[in-house]
Chains A and B, each alone.
Chain A
Amino acid sequence: MKLRTALLGAVALGLSALAGFAQTEGDAGNPGGERGRDGQLNIIYWQAPSIMNPYLTGGTKDYEAASLVLEPLGRFDPEGNLVPYLAEEIPTVENGGVSEDLTSITWKIKDDVEWSDGTPVTSEDVRFTWEYCTAEGGGCAQAAKFDGIEDVEIVDEKTATVHFDTPKPYPYAAFMGGQSPILQAAQFADCLGPRAPECTEANFNPIGTGPFVVTDFRPNDVIQLEANDNFRDPEKPAFQTVTLKGGGDAAAAGRAVMETGEFDYAWNLQLAPEVLDQMAAGGQGEPISAFGTLVERIEMNLTNPDPSLPPETRATRAEPHPFLSEQPVRQALSMAIDRQILTEIGYGVAGRPTCNLVPAPANYAADNTDCLTQDIEGAKAMLEEAGWTDTNGNGTRDKDGVELTMLFQSSTNAVRQDFQALIKDWWRQIGVDAELRNVDSSVFFGGDPGSPDTFQKFYADAEMYANNFDGTDPQAYLSMYRCDNEPRPETQWQGENINRFCDEEYDALLDELSQTADLEERGRIAKELNTILTADTYTIVPLVDRGRVSARAMDLGGVELNTWDSELWNAADWYRIAE
């Protein structure tokens, strides 16, 4: 029975993949012509790429830059569908590429693809890539994608079969997407494990199959590339040379594309909507946006972060939070927030108010909308009913000597600080006082167990940040809130269950999800899990479903903003629109 449903799921994925493929190949508007006809392309990333090897870095900026050169077997398109790149097709149970018991997947590489040095891409390279990332002591950043791979078997020169140790309902983690491209075995042969960092030349100038090759790599500054002579499509890329400049800030990057026209494409412009509008009025370029799974949210601390507690029990499950452990308080705090205004002020067209932790893909997104209307009076009534009243007349509600005062922290970022101020204002209207704190993001998101300010340690009552999940499957994402996965002193404050949420029913549902292969059934369970965390318990208070905003020059054609893969995923198709 299980097998049957799995099959259906895999078929559904395969079909959508094919549909996506047909769409991108068509690519209307590109006039075609000889390679390199459009000259120079200028791209600006306000975070400068440090390395061109995605296996040695977790930075988005790095693997996006690398995606101009290195390619995976398949990518995600802007709709989240799988598209074959180096592979002939996306293997599914239907086309026989995935074994019926879901323990192996067989990839067939296209016959005509060559590395930029002219040698053919073989299954040896696929196997090597797996060896490279799983080698002991290499510190491979994408190791999680290769989890559960027992072996990569070389069937023939162009065919490789990946064997898993357990059935994998979703076998597309490895070799898919910008984070796990294929490396050339010949170039990286001496760079396994601890020797990985010594291969500076290879890490800066990898031999790839992509549309461009690196001519000059200056770490954290600028990358210069030129068209790959051995690229499989003789008409692509349209640009002969590419400069990818890094550094500065988002405002400057936006200005360079939309106002001065010095650059053709700017990445990730998280700016206030009115600033973006002003820049777009410059007329040289326009902002483009697309939605993924990134959700800005407030996480409620279910444990007590009181500094007077001993470090062994502070902010651990041994000490429940004095008031946030009460559901009515959390719910009232959520009801007081006007998500519409937050979106309007912080993100404009690049944001949508949301009540869900998993906002996409459609199959997994629940339809909770209760939180979308602000209800100050309702929130007051709810607190009143729960026994929280202002007995001492200081403007803040209290009960049994506990005042509703919170420390509300976030990372340093202009939009987040505006949100903090607004939310503090609304909370004050329902009689809850908040002290704001912002922490430098390199500390906040760092895992230093010695620092009191990391988001894992959560020495605050509530905190705001954004998170998303890789690819299109939310299982790993929802599993973060499993009991015992919380950061605590014994785990050196590592762990992903930030709220210290613990619920048997939730964990049982998670187990069910991990054994279910049917797509529809998975969707039902995921929605239920999402609702437990949000609309049922208000442990996580989602605020805004955040899109990605980038900017392109008016005369740059072929750009399709992609939030599921590298933004430069289809740079081979970009071209200059004739005047």
Chain B
Amino acid sequence: MLNYTIRRLLISIPTLLFISLAIFLLLELAPGDPMAQVPLTVPPEVKQAMREALGLGEPVHIRFWKWIVQFFWTEPLHLFDSWFGTAWAEGQQRVISWQTRSPVMEIVAQRMPQTLWVVGLSYIIGTLIALPIGIISAYRQYSIFDQIGTFVSMVGFSVPTFFTGVLLIVIFSVKLGWFPSIYDTTLVVNDWSSFVLQLKQMVMPVFVLALYNAAQISRFMRASMLDNLNQDYVRTARAKGLTERVVVLLHVLRNSMIPVVTVIALGVPTVFGGAIITEQVFKVNGLGQLLITAIQANDLPMVQSLTFIFAVLIVLFNLIADVLYGLLDPRIRYD
């Protein structure tokens, strides 16, 4: 397994380089123009000069190379500098966003807190709710619990977040006035009352996202448990006199986790991709909002860097999932 992991990590490097090239070419090919949001009153010559100032006049391969150098060399140096107070990256051009003319990574860091608070927490809550629901639904298949669980999760998944979000705002912000409809990213949590404020502004977006995540994961959990509850080893375990709790929670659960681990591992990177619609509805302005505004403004360095970070997480978590398969089911061998 260790061999396999190391080999996979090594393969990841060319894979990621290839992915970054693919993303770059895709963005290059995609129609769009960083000047799209400039008013029509600005004459075309001025727009052309602005494009050239962004470096758009240079050939594709040079721009790709520049991005590689900036992202893989200058940015880590900067990070090192800021940790240890050195000045190695002095005077080197960092990855600069076209919209804000500021370093991309600083904005990304700025967006982390609200992304983790809202999207990350909702993912954890969603998973924590989904697992027991899935297990009980499968164990008591077709019980009232199962039926209600199925209904709620199916409706929760099929009604899109752009609708549930607005519905919650209308009920809880407009009519009842319990929660703010706009997320305050500048809120600093340093005492009890600010913590309560933070909780209040998080409730609705976290609920919407957690419902969506829980719906999906609980369905896979349930299906996979159902498959395993009928297997021979379950009968054997019961015959051995193991308690029902041990049989279900140890043997069956462990063997049912493979698809669930896959789904969860696929979901973790999307946490960092943000939740575009939910963030928009509640004005959370996390990484999802950052990505979508960058795409709309054709801010290529920002889109490229964000999607690449996203790609790294995807490769990493899929690797983690593959390693977990081996731990969950020792018969799985990759060598």
Contacts and interface: CB of A to CB of B under 8 A. Distances in A.
Asked whether the complex places CB atoms of A and B closer than 8 A, the reply is yes
Interface of A: 44, 48, 50-51, 53, 56-60, 137-144, 194, 196-200, 203-204, 216, 218-222, 224, 243, 245-249, 252, 255-256, 259-260, 262-263, 282, 441-448, 450-454, 467-470, 476-477, 491, 494-496
B5 interface: no
Contact of A248 (B54, B182, B184): B182
B53 A248 contact: no
Interface in B157-207: 169, 173-174, 177, 180-182, 184-186
B50 interface: yes
A143 B169 CA distance: 44
A453 B49 contact: no
Interface in B95-114: 96-97, 99-103, 107, 110-111
Contacts of B32: 442-443, 446, 448, 451
Contacts of B169: 252, 255
Contacts of B141: none
Nearest to A445: B36
Nearest to A53: B101
Contacts of B281: 248, 252
B51 interface: yes
Interface of B: 29, 31-44, 46-54, 93, 96-97, 99-103, 107, 110-111, 169, 173-174, 177, 180-182, 184-186, 280-283, 285, 289-290, 293, 295-298
A499 to B, nearest CB: 14
Nearest to B177: A260
Contact of A256 (B44, B49, B181): B181
Chain A contact residues: helix, strand, loop or mixed: loop
Nearest to B49: A139
18 contacts: A48-B293, A58-B37, A140-B46, A142-B46, A143-B46, A198-B93, A199-B101, A200-B103, A220-B289, A245-B184, A445-B37, A446-B32, A446-B35, A447-B35, A447-B47, A451-B31, A477-B41, A491-B44
Given A143-B46, A220-B99, A252-B281, A441 B177 contact: no
Contacts of A219: 97, 99-100, 102, 107, 110
A259 B174 contact: yes
Given A204-B102, A494-B48, A48 B285 contact: yes
A255 B290 CA distance: 23
Nearest to B173: A260
Given A199-B101, A260-B173, 7 more contacts: A139-B50, A204-B102, A218-B285, A219-B107, A252-B283, A256-B182, A494-B44
A57 B33 CA distance: 14
Contacts of B31: 443, 446, 448, 450-454
A564 B316 CA distance: 52
A470 B36 contact: no
B47 A220 contact: no
A418 to B, nearest CB: 19
A60 B42 CA distance: 12
Contact of A495 (B44, B46, B53, B289): B44
A440 to B, nearest CB: 8
Contacts of A218: 110, 185-186, 285
B289 A247 contact: yes
**Nearest 3 CB-CB pairings of A with B:** A139-B53, A58-B38, A451-B31
Q: Is the interface of B mostly helix, strand, loop or mixed?
A: loop
A468 B35 contact: no
Contacts of A470: 41
Nearest to A216: B186
B300 to A, nearest CB: 12
A453 B36 CA distance: 12
Given A248-B280, A446-B298, A203 B101 contact: yes
Contacts of B177: 260
Contacts of B51: 139
Contacts of A50: 99-100, 297
Contacts of A260: 173-174, 177, 180-181
Contacts of B293: 48, 220
Contacts of B295: 442
B174 A282 contact: yes
A187 to B, nearest CB: 15
Nearest to A191: B101
Nearest to B162: A249
Given A219-B102, A447-B33, A450-B31, A245 B182 contact: yes
Contacts of B289: 220-221, 247
Contacts of B29: 450
Contacts of A469: 41
Contacts of A249: 280
A252 B285 CA distance: 14
A544 to B, nearest CB: 17
Most B C-beta atoms less than 10 A away, residue of A44, A224, A259, A441 = A259
A263 B100 contact: no
Contact of A255 (B52, B102, B174): B174
Contact of A141 (B36, B38, B174, B181): B38
Interface centre among B99, B281, B283 (most CB of A within 10 A): B283
Contacts of B280: 247-249
A44, A141, A199: residue with the most chain B Cβ atoms closer than 10 Å: A141
A496 B46 CA distance: 13
A221 B177 CA distance: 24
B48 A245 contact: no
Nearest to B286: A221
A58 B35 contact: yes
Contacts of B43: 144, 476, 496
B283 A51 contact: no
A138 B296 CA distance: 23
B212 to A, nearest CB: 19
B331 to A, nearest CB: 49
A120 to B, nearest CB: 28
Nearest to A468: B41
Contacts of A245: 182, 184, 283
Nearest to A470: B41
A442 B102 contact: no
Given A144-B42, A247-B285, A447-B35, A255 B181 contact: yes
B320 to A, nearest CB: 31
A496 B41 CA distance: 10
A241 B47 CA distance: 35
A143 B48 CA distance: 11
A555 B251 CA distance: 65
B101 A197 contact: yes
A448 to B, nearest CB: 5
Contacts of A142: 46
Interface centre among B51, B102, B103, B169 (most CB of A within 10 A): B102
A475 B31 CA distance: 32
Nearest to B35: A447
Contacts of B40: 445, 467, 496
B181 A203 contact: no
A488 to B, nearest CB: 12
A224 B188 CA distance: 14
Given A48-B285, A220-B285, A259-B174, A442 B181 contact: no
A253 to B, nearest CB: 9
Contacts of B298: 442, 446
B36, B93, B281, B296 interface centre (most CB from chain A within 10 Å): B36
Contact of B36 (A60, A220, A255, A443): A443
